[in-house]
Amino acid sequence: MTITERPQSTHKDRVVIRFAGDSGDGMQLAGSQFTAASALFGNDLATLPDFPAEIRAPAGTLPGVSSFQVQIADTDILTPGDSPDVLVAMNPAALKTNLGDVAKGGLILINTDAFEERNLAKAGYDSDPLEDGTLEGFHVLTAPMEELTKLAVKDTGLKGRGVLRSKNFFALGVVSWMFNRPTEPIIDWVNDKFAKLPEVAAANIEALKAGYNYGLTTEEFHFTFDVEPAALPPGEYTNITGNQAVSWGLIAAAKSAGLDLFYGSYPITPASSVLEELARHKNFGVRTFQAEDEIAAVGATLGASFVGHLGATGTSGPGVALKSETISLAMMMELPMIVLNVQRAGPSTGMPTKTEQADLLMALYGRHGEAPLPVIAASTPSDAFDTAIEAGRLAVKYMTPVILLTDGYIANSSEPWRLPDIADLPDIGRPFASPGDGEFLPYLRDPDTLARPWAIPGTPGLEHRLGGLEKQDVTGNVSYDPENHERMTELRERKIARIADDIPPAEVYGSGDILVIGWGSTFGAIREAVNRSTRNDIAAAHLHLRHLNPFPANLGDVLERYDTVLVPELNRGQLSKLLQAEYVKRVVSLPKIQGLPFKAVEIEAKLRELS
Amino acid sequence: MTITERPQSTHKDRVVIRFAGDSGDGMQLAGSQFTAASALFGNDLATLPDFPAEIRAPAGTLPGVSSFQVQIADTDILTPGDSPDVLVAMNPAALKTNLGDVAKGGLILINTDAFEERNLAKAGYDSDPLEDGTLEGFHVLTAPMEELTKLAVKDTGLKGRGVLRSKNFFALGVVSWMFNRPTEPIIDWVNDKFAKLPEVAAANIEALKAGYNYGLTTEEFHFTFDVEPAALPPGEYTNITGNQAVSWGLIAAAKSAGLDLFYGSYPITPASSVLEELARHKNFGVRTFQAEDEIAAVGATLGASFVGHLGATGTSGPGVALKSETISLAMMMELPMIVLNVQRAGPSTGMPTKTEQADLLMALYGRHGEAPLPVIAASTPSDAFDTAIEAGRLAVKYMTPVILLTDGYIANSSEPWRLPDIADLPDIGRPFASPGDGEFLPYLRDPDTLARPWAIPGTPGLEHRLGGLEKQDVTGNVSYDPENHERMTELRERKIARIADDIPPAEVYGSGDILVIGWGSTFGAIREAVNRSTRNDIAAAHLHLRHLNPFPANLGDVLERYDTVLVPELNRGQLSKLLQAEYVKRVVSLPKIQGLPFKAVEIEAKLRELS
Amino acid sequence: MTDTATRYTRQDFQTDQEVRWCPGCGDYTLLATVQNFMASLDIDKEKIVFVSGIGCAARFPYYMETYGMHSIHGRAPAVASGVVVANPELSVWVVTGDGDALSIGGNHLIHAMRRNVNIKVLLFNNQIYGLTKGQYSPTSEAGKTTKSSPMGSIDYPFNPVSLALGAEATFVGRTIDMDRDHMTTMLQAMNDHHGASFLEIYQNCNVFNDKAFLDLTGRDERDHNRIYLEHGKPVLFGPDHGNGVVVEGGNARVATVADVGVDSIHVHNATDLDPGPAFALSRLSHGPYGPTPLGIFRHVSRETYGDLVSAQLVESREQKGAGDLAQLIRQTGTWTVD
Amino acid sequence: MTDTATRYTRQDFQTDQEVRWCPGCGDYTLLATVQNFMASLDIDKEKIVFVSGIGCAARFPYYMETYGMHSIHGRAPAVASGVVVANPELSVWVVTGDGDALSIGGNHLIHAMRRNVNIKVLLFNNQIYGLTKGQYSPTSEAGKTTKSSPMGSIDYPFNPVSLALGAEATFVGRTIDMDRDHMTTMLQAMNDHHGASFLEIYQNCNVFNDKAFLDLTGRDERDHNRIYLEHGKPVLFGPDHGNGVVVEGGNARVATVADVGVDSIHVHNATDLDPGPAFALSRLSHGPYGPTPLGIFRHVSRETYGDLVSAQLVESREQKGAGDLAQLIRQTGTWTVD
Ligand SMILES: Cc1ncc(C[n+]2csc(CCOP(=O)(O)OP(=O)(O)O)c2C)c(N)n1
Ligand SMILES: Cc1ncc(C[n+]2csc(CCOP(=O)(O)OP(=O)(O)O)c2C)c(N)n1
Ligand code: SF4
Ligand code: SF4
Ligand SMILES: [Mg+2]
Ligand SMILES: [Mg+2]
């Protein structure tokens, strides 16, 4: 044992906990159950799951490590935290890959049963880190979790390899005890989830209890942390991931528009769970179409849009590349459609399970010809709900495909979400065209929005043909007239540009000489960094963009007010390029491209450097 | 007859002639034969073919009009001319669509046989333009070309509808006489081309002679123009279109690299003729692969690159969209490949037979993730030869896909090309990797170029695996390591950025306060405009970019020297955006998006406005 | 059905757009046949949708006064799938070429077939890429000299009927542009079929591939070569029905009736759930050369994709009630902060 | 051939990369079988190329100490076509999954087959999308409940063998992961085949679709259900070969030998140029349910795409001489300015 001190039970305003183990060890489950319990307890929280690339990489190896990090707090927090205060390491590989992140003086809970020679070797440890001083400076708590789990479940009837599967519940029990979390919600969940496998349910519950009791009774574990409920704004909350939020947001958008939702997709990490979530809600009239590929997915979606559905198609970078020809067609036919890109680390297949924001320029320019489209991005998991509705609003109102960006981090991490009142959802509907007196003119535009009418098959008298060839203004007939092409190109451009007047002006949070501009999932890290920095006398302001094309109308003016503009992005400076191109003002880019979200401290450091 | 004066035979330094008629009238053939004869005669020249979108639109209609414009000159010229001095109009529709372009006082040669009621109606003429004053201010020459053709060919044995097909040769005969062009080269060509159809050959030749003699003998036609041979730099010349040049350039690139050429493609206007041209040169070891679609075309090409061929794949905008996922893979695997985009008017299907430059931003950013590639563009038809070789050089030297941009205008128009000495072609070869002593490291980079070794299947001892997942530095093994991903992303970026030091600095032509920056096919119009403007005391300079990514290293410095930078482009300002993003300097964009090239006069006018 | 007067005439299905195919193109006949057929139906024309890809054939929707979409190359079956799944009330037709459907679009085609999406695919097979001016297509005969195959094509062509049967299309037929009556019969059968239907139509491209179908259209040849398949009848053809088709052990071959006896002649059963015999018949020719079957190879019933989608929507509502958004967002549990 | 000692052992085909499939995955067996088979060949291993798309199966090349490319989803047949056309000396293998090959990659697959490109396609069919964690695939049985089909899949699955035959593949076979010897025989035949070959391999995904092949692997079931096709032999199966297959008029069906007599049993001819009988056999099962044929359905010879490419290169050189660039750029006529 390398424990040198015994910390006392402590009140904490925030704690970062990371569960790490083999991908077969059930760490995602342990983490999300702890999160759920903390949510119900009333903490504010933010999570960061990190999966290995393989379905199930070989047990015990470094690439096989799966982790789940959660920050719980009694105040409003924005990120899953920069470095864990508590690390649960189920095996040597988990320790090896995660130790570097743990805060100095942090607490490490170790499953000693896994620290035997073979596993140590697989993790690349020459000597046992529990013995060789590697863990100096940390508080180390150990438990032979496998042995104890076996003992705990021996009366449940469960046999064989299955027994050890419950060890994540043992770890969860210890941590629950450590943070004074009630175990009932977890027990309820287990009973529900494993209703058809009562032995498994019983084993998990016994392991959970054993872990809890182990904490309670073992001398070594005689302390707890207290993290009080957070004083969040009053309301009803749920804990939500980005992919859930975007799915529900799409359903809400369809409802708000008075349309049925059609979601055409082809599975791809990290977007698949949107398809899976939507497939479960057919009672909302949602049609999910799992196509043969991304091109068919967007094609079918476009067909559905043509006949009056809210068409949405979701994928990740490689899929967007494939869809781009069809998106261009939708743009030319001026039909509403939502194109969701849950970005992942590229280029090419890249690192599919890791997050990145490097598809922004593709969202703006990844189509042949002049094909401007609205591009919007969600900034947090729950924000994806509202952003999806905004995508639907723009699509229907302006008769245009809309690119909706999230990323792997938003998709899989979660946060408390104050539930909106469904009755308050905006009405984003727009009537279909109905037969008028004269000839139907499919490209006669609304003078305000420049949107053309949406005339759906089945409507007598509005029979018309759409297509990808250049269209004559007003009539929509095929036209090769040079001036017409120029006019139509400008009209399509202006239609999108005008959206700038239909969105809220960019708002600046805080004040200071430096403005930090971000977009998408960097919201939490930037806001946290700006707060910390301001507290430390380097005042900085934060502007977070939901609308990337067009930019809010006042953005240029805002930029003018700051000498220094910092743009942190999980790419090599794509928003920076857009800002410089648009406003001819030099900005400072802070790129990060590691497949991981920013830590607030990284942005804070840059602010210090710039100040 | 509305002829009021009779112009005298004149010496001209340059004349613009446009042949216009129904798409079945053979105007492309008449134009290109006149061009060929003028080339052999020694004129400088530039051409502009303009096809209808349909294979063969209904006879006599406006969309069915096909035209071919050529400027011939006794000096160095750069464009096919802004407005025709001579228009050949084979029917009312051709007159209607082209008359607006004809220079004031220009000469119009009309086939009166086509000016009967039905055709007039199809062209939308209420009254006969030959009679109603429409042609006031032009010199009008008329001939009943169909009647005269019928007469001329009556002894050739040709019968039926085929007879009238020769009327383009009648028109060509008249124009040949008008410009004092020898008819022998045309006759030789006809005999060769129709060797298997001797009756058709005879008919064409008789019609040609009849036209020539009609000019010679008819009183009405008693004048000629003389355009002397141009004092071009000494050398051997041929007349070449852009698609020919790029095809031959690819063959030359392969030869210069000591490789076999593999060209994978799927037919698409206006790129198809590259596939067709290359398919004819299998004796160069060229393998053409007509794939089932663009994705397969680029996929097969990549496969060929993997095994050590110079892989090239050509298409137009919609095809590039489809290829982008695979280009991203090639970029990740760092294999050489040339991706030719013969741009056409978009977005979507757009106007396939019309030209545009609106795929530049897609070339740079149309891929998911950070996927920088070299992008280069040809500026004239013959320049496409050199640019293709440059593409091959960069691809092989830096082990990267290269995007090579031309457009429909370059593809189909022609100009005299001074033949290079084949012996002087650069050596762009780079040896394949050969087995060394130690372990083979597929991602061990050349310290200068950062290129990785090219180890081809069949080489013992160098067995290795490539793929689209992020690779470990040096070994190329799959890696999810965060720092490695950042390092590799930067390495790939730097490899491309470094090319800036391996290309000629940007050169400025002329001097003045305004710098005009262009790229691609706008070269001629810009140069002409700058020359004219400078002659008219508005001095302007011209910088034409071949390399769009990276830019030449000195470009920023050059830009700094000018207060006003004008960027004419056949798009909505894409290069402007790139320049502003890169150099944070405001430029003036001159967009044109009509499916047509710039006229010099349009750029000249803008220069006047800016001065 | 076609002889009952309906409220429509051919003119009702003509648009104000000028038809822009080459003079003499087989597409004109096909357009007229389809327009006439549509006028003969009693379907509200606003319920009809024509979807196409890109190619000469794919211009078709511009000339049909119905709803229509001229989409992009190869993707019509995918777009049409979305159309009909979203609105199963519509009568959805796909017009496509041999390049559009079988080259770039081959995958969407076979997937629409296997899923039995309720779309009607008219494949205008002229064995060439017309719109791009004459390159060989996936149905061009091997050895064909075209612009892109100056030394002859080395691609072995698809037999579209065999391919569609391999993908288990529930309706597979073949006809030829010159035989308007037969084509109309095929259209009627497709109209009546509930599920994916596929019709290969030999269509003459007189500009880039003239006379490709001479064996089936030539005055001297056609009677010898057209094998009209009729459900429930022995497969007989040729002058005086002197020839017939025998299918033995999976091999179909042409025989002289006098030699084998009429009882040995294969009796065609288009409704056989097993596509084996239809496939055997599809092997009688490879391209329109020599004796070639025309008509309905297969016509079976299988649940359509669209019906199954609709059924799940209904079932889901029955099980869970109509979607309630307020409930949905609470489904994973909530807590309240006061 | 496999019993002759060669210079290689299985170890020579193992890479230093850790194999990363789930414990118990059928892919492990397949890897071992392929590695052993490769070691048994007398092909220089630097002449072997494995190309794959994306999926669990598609990880294969990383574990083979040959040249390899882990390309992108669905595109392996296209990439491999380029590889072998550019260098016909190579032995080119494609490893792909049911999603990779039949969903996104269906078109490339059927085109490679019809062109008879000299590639060898190993389709690891686990009837599920493994890598993306368990959505239904184009071979999943109808009604299957998966993550993306919570109410059961409504996609009617492909029969990969029927599809390949419809595309006129020159070699079509089927095997199963558990039967290493049979798989080795198939690999040997593919290796010996010159042209495109296609092997469907039933592969167990124990994580997302465990026991999908129970009818063919279960101790009680397998002997009743495995129909091993052997060229030139009557198609008999089951305990004591008591059952057999009859093919009549294009319909194949299972019969009891005692009932129909052994002479009525279909004698399998894999080399029949007409794919009709092979197709009929492919219809005996639809998925690995009930009596299911394994073995070589079709094995015929047709000129390969690569050979035809090479022949045209030679012919062109013979006709025009080796390419001369100086001549090429002068081919349309030149003039001289002094
Ligand atoms: C993505 C894409 N690739 C290529 C093309 C060019 N293209 C248009 S139609 C066509 C093939 C036409 O052949 P087919 O489908 O047989 O129709 P047809 O013109 O013969 O009626 C091609 C290659 C395109 N429009 N889009
Ligand atoms: C363009 C693209 N779309 C989607 C994906 C996601 N994806 C990867 S593998 C796969 C399917 C895997 O199924 P299968 O081919 O059957 O292989 P298995 O994993 O079952 O071996 C999918 C959908 C991708 N990588 N690329
Ligand atoms: S090219 Fe052929 S298919 Fe196309 S319109 Fe002309 S004749 Fe018809
Ligand atoms: S998910 Fe299935 S197919 Fe993939 S590695 Fe695991 S067991 Fe094998
Ligand atoms: Mg065709
Ligand atoms: Mg699978």
Q: Kindly report the protein residue whose alpha carbon is nearest to atom 1 of ligand 4.
A: D130
**Which chain D positions have a beta carbon within 8 Å of C167's beta carbon?**
158, 163, 166
In tens, the pLDDT along A579-608 reads: 999 999 999 999 999 999 999 999 999 999
To test ligand 1's pocket by mutation, which of B268, B351, B359 has the most ligand atoms within 8 angstroms of CB?
B268
Residue A133 pLDDT more than 90?
A: no
> Band of the pLDDT at C4, cuts 50, 70, 90?
low
CA-to-CA dists, residue B555 to B275, B550, B586, C78, C296, angstroms: 35, 10, 14, 47, 67
Q: C214 is written with which tokens?
A: 């001479």
* Residues near ion ligand 6 (Cβ under 5 Å): D 97-98, 126, 130
Query: Is the pLDDT at D53 greater than 70, yes or no?
Result: yes
- CB C98 near ligand 1, within 6 Å: yes
Q: Which two tokens stand for residue C187?
A: 């259209």
Chain centroid to CA A529: 20
Q: Is the CB of C25 under 6 A from ligand 1?
A: no
C143 CB neighbours in chain D (<8 A) are none
Residue B37 reports pLDDT greater than 90: no
Question: Which residues of chain A make contact with B333, given a CB cutoff of 8 A?
Answer: 348
Question: Over 70: is that where the pLDDT of A54 sits?
Answer: no
- Predicted local distance difference test score (pLDDT) of residue D1: 41
B193 has a pLDDT exceeding 50: yes
In the numeric block, the tokens 């997942």 are attached to B469
Phi/psi of residue A329, nearest 5 degrees: -65, -45
Q: Do D70 and B468 touch (CB under 8 A)?
A: yes
In Å, how far are A351, A524, A597, B332 from B472, measured between CA atoms? Answer: 12, 30, 21, 12
Indicate whether residue C31 lines ligand 1 (CB < 6 A): no
Token pair in block for residue B180: 């004092």
| Main-chain phi, psi angles of B498, to 5 degrees | -65, -20
As a whole number, mean pLDDT of residues A68-92 equals: 91
**Quick check: CB of C55 below 6 Å from ligand 1?**
yes
Cα angle, residue A29 at apex, residues A24 and A35 outer, rounded to 5°: 150
Please indicate if any CB of chain C lies within 8 Å of the CB of D234.
Answer: no
| Residue type present at position D39 | A
Q: What is the pLDDT of residue B139?
A: 86
Q: Which two tokens stand for residue A547?
A: 């609308």
Token pair in block for residue B84? 């025709």
The residue to mutate among C22, C30, C60, C73, having the most atoms of ligand 1 within 8 angstroms of its beta carbon, is C73
- pLDDT grade for A63, boundaries at 50, 70 and 90: confident
Helix (H) or strand (E) holding B449: none
- For the stretch A206-229, what's the b/e string if a residue is b when 16 or more beta carbons lie within 10 angstroms of its beta carbon? bbbbbbbebbeeeeebeeebebeb
What is the pLDDT at residue A7? 44
Contact criterion met (CB below 8 Å) for D94 and D136: no
Give the CA-trace dihedral at C270, C271, C277, C283, to 10 degrees: 40
* pLDDT at residue number A218: 75
Q: What is the pLDDT at residue B9?
A: 66
| Residue ranges near ligand 5 (ion) with Cβ within 5 Å | C 97-98, 126, 130
Mean pLDDT of B136-144: 88
Please tell me which residue, D319 or B58, carries the higher pLDDT value. D319
The per-residue pLDDT of chain A, averaged, comes to: 93
Which tens digits make up the pLDDT trace of D68-83?
A: 999 999 999 999 999 9
pLDDT at B148 over 80: yes
Instruction: Please tell me the distance between residue A467's alpha carbon and the centre of ligand 3 in angstroms.
Output: 20
- ω into D157 cis (within 30 of 0): no
* Residue showing tokens 């063998």: D161
Judged against a pLDDT cut of 80, whether residue A32 lies above it is answered with yes
Residue A2, pLDDT > 50, answer no
Q: Are strands B139-143 and B225-226 parallel, antiparallel or unpaired?
A: unpaired
A383-387 LR contacts (CB < 8 Å, sep 24+): A383/A245, A383/A523, A383/A546, A384/A242, A384/A243, A384/A245, A384/A246, A384/A249, A384/A410, A385/A240, A385/A245, A385/A246, A385/A248, A385/A249, A385/A252, A385/A417, A385/A420, A386/A249, A387/A246, A387/A249, A387/A546
Strand order in the sheet with C48-52: A465-467, C67-70, C48-52, C91-97, C120-125, C197-202, C171-176, C292-299, C226-229
Find the CB nearest A468 among C72, C90, C332. C72
Query: Which of A268, A313, A359 for a ligand 2 pocket mutation test, highest count of atoms within 8 Å of Cβ?
Result: A268
- At residue A154, the 3 state secondary structure works out as coil
ipTM of this complex > 0.90? yes
A1 band by pLDDT with thresholds 50, 70 and 90 = very low
Comparing A289-293, B492-496, C5-9, C108-112, which segment has the lowest mean pLDDT? C5-9
**Of B21-30, B269-278, B427-436, minimum mean pLDDT range:** B21-30
Å from CA of B57 to ligand 3 middle: 10
CA distance C109 to C102: 8
Which region among B4-8, D46-50, D86-90 has the lowest average model confidence (pLDDT)?
B4-8
CB contact under 8 A, D165 and C166: yes
The rounded distance, in Å, linking the Cα atoms of B392 and B338 is 7
Q: Measure in Å the smallest separation between the Cα of B447 and chain C Cα atoms.
A: 42
Regarding beta strands D91-97 and C91-97, do their DSSP bridges make them parallel or antiparallel, or are they unpaired?
unpaired
Residue nearest to atom 5 of ligand 1 (CA): B268
Chain A: touching chains (3 or more CB pairs < 8 Å): B, C, D
D61 CA distance to ligand 2 middle (Å): 16
Q: Which of residues 40-59 of B touch C (CB under 8 A)?
A: 54-59
**Highest averaged pLDDT of the listed ranges A156-170, B51-65, B269-283:** B269-283
Name which of A41, A325, A467 is nearest C70 (Cβ-Cβ): A467
Chain B contact set for C147 (CB, 8 A): 272, 276, 279
| Residue D292 contacts residue D284 (beta carbons within 8 Å) | yes
Tell me the three-class secondary structure of chain C, residue by residue: CCCCCCCCCHHHHECCCCCCCCCCCHHHHHHHHHHHHHHHCCCCHHHEEEEECCCCHHHHHHHECCEEEECCCCCHHHHHHHHHHHCCCCEEEEEEEHHHHHHHCHHHHHHHHHHCCCCEEEEEECCCECCCCCECCCCCCCCCCECCECCCCCCCCCCHHHHHHHCCCCEEEEEECCCHHHHHHHHHHHHHCCCCEEEEEECCECCCECCCCHHHHCCCCHHHHEEEECCCCECEECHHHCEEEEEECCEEEEEEHHHHCHHHCCECCCCCCCCHHHHHHHCCCCCCCCCEEEEEEEECCCCCHHHHHHHHHHHHHHHHCCCCHHHHCCCCCCEEEC
Closest by CA to B419, choosing from B239, B606, B168, is B239
Is it the case that residue A4 has pLDDT exceeding 50?
no
DSSP class of B144: -
Q: Do A458 and C46 touch (CB under 8 A)?
A: yes
Which range scores top for mean pLDDT: A60-64, A485-489, B18-22?
A485-489
Q: Enter the DSSP assignment of D100.
A: I
Nearest CA in chain A to B357: A369
CA distance A229 to A225: 13
Q: Which residue, among A573, A114, D52, A56, has the nearest Cα to B365 in the 3D structure?
A: A573
Q: Please tell me if residue B190 touches chain D, with a CB cutoff of 8 Å.
A: no
For A118: left if phi > 0, alpha if psi spans -120 to 50, otherwise beta; the answer is: alpha
pLDDT band at B54 (very low <50, low <70, confident <90, very high): low
Beta-carbon separation of B293 and C74 below 8 A: yes
Q: Is residue A502 scored above 70 in pLDDT?
A: yes
- Shortest distance, CA A108 to any CA of chain B (angstroms): 23
Share of residues in chain A with pLDDT > 90 (%): 76
Instruction: Taking residues B182-201, report their average pLDDT.
Output: 89
- Residue of D46, D85, D320 lying closest to B287 (CB–CB): D85
Which residues of chain A have a CB within 8 Å of the CB of B316? 368
Q: Which candidate, D128, D129, D133, D81, places its Cα nearest to that of D107?
A: D81
Instruction: Please determine, for residue B2, whether its predicted confidence score (pLDDT) is greater than 50.
Output: no
Q: How many CB pairs under 8 A join A and B?
A: 220
CA dihedral (B31, B34, B39, B43) in degrees, to 10, reads -100
The 10s digit of each residue's pLDDT in B247-285 is 999 999 999 999 999 999 999 999 999 999 999 999 999
Atom of ligand 1 nearest to the CA of C100: 15
- The predicted pLDDT at position A226 comes to 86
Ligand number with the minimum distance to the CA of C95: 1
Pick the residue with more confidence: A434 or B64? A434
Which of D47, D79, D325 is facing B302, going by the closest CB pair? D79
At B8, is the pLDDT very low, low, confident or very high (cuts 50, 70, 90)?
Answer: low
Atom number of ligand 4 nearest to Cα D133: 1
Cβ contact D280–C163 (<8 Å):
no
Within a 10 A sphere around the Cβ of C181, how many other Cβ atoms? Answer: 10
pLDDT of residue B222: 60
Listed in sequence order, the DSSP H helices in chain D are 26-40, 76-86, 98, 106-115, 160-166, 180-192, 214-217, 222-225, 257-260, 276-282, 305-320, 325-328
- The stretch C150-171 carries a mean pLDDT of 98
Query: What per-residue confidence (pLDDT) applies to B64?
Result: 86
Please name which ligand lies nearest the alpha carbon of D54.
2
pLDDT in tens, D156-169: 999 999 999 999 99
Residue A411 has pLDDT above 60, yes or no: yes
- Write out chain D residues lying below 8 Å of A351, CB-based: none
Q: What is the mean pLDDT of residues C157-176?
A: 98
pLDDT tens digit sequence for A426-458: 999 999 999 988 899 999 999 999 999 999 999
| CB-defined site of ligand 2, < 6 Å | A 266-268, 294, 318-319, 322; D 54-57, 73, 97-100, 124, 126, 128-132, 137
Q: How far is A22 from chain B (nearest CA, A)?
A: 16
Q: Which residue has the higher pLDDT, B176 or D235?
A: D235
Size of interface B-D (CB pairs under 8 A): 207
With H, G, I as helix, E, B as strand and everything else as coil, classify residue B2: coil
Total residue count of chain D as it appears in this document: 338
Does A269 contact D132 at a Cβ distance shorter than 8 Å?
A: yes
CA dihedral of D69, D71, D76, D82, whole degrees rounded to 10: -70
Q: Is the dihedral of CA B299, B302, B304, B310 positive or negative?
A: positive
* Alpha-carbon distances of C80 from A288, B358, C76, C112, C114, rounded to whole Å: 15, 30, 6, 9, 15
Mark out the alpha helices in D212-256 (DSSP H runs). 214-217, 222-225
What's the count of helices (H) and strands (E) in chain B, helices before strands?
19, 22
- Report whether C124 contacts C105 (CB < 8 A): no
